[in-house]
Amino acid sequence: MGVQTDVVIADLDDAQAIAEMATPTAEWDGFTFNGFDHVQVCTLLSLLSAGRPDAEFQHYLGVVEPVAVGGEEGPVVVGVKPEQVAELAAVARLDEAEFESLAASWAATEEFAGWSGSDVRELLRELGDLAESASLQGKCLMLWQSL
pLDDT at 72: 84
Asked whether 38 and 76 are in contact (CB, 8 A), the reply is no
pLDDT at 2: 72
pLDDT at 87: 98
pLDDT at 91: 98
Length of the chain: 147
pLDDT at 7: 98
pLDDT at 99: 98
> What count of other Cβ atoms lies within 10 Å of the Cβ of residue 62?
9
Predicted TM-score of the model (pTM)? 0.95
Low-confidence ranges of the chain (pLDDT < 50): 1
CA end-to-end span of the chain: 10
Looking at the DSSP bridge assignments, the partners of residue 4 are 34, 146
- Fold topology of 4-146: Hypothetical protein yfbM fold (3.40.1760)
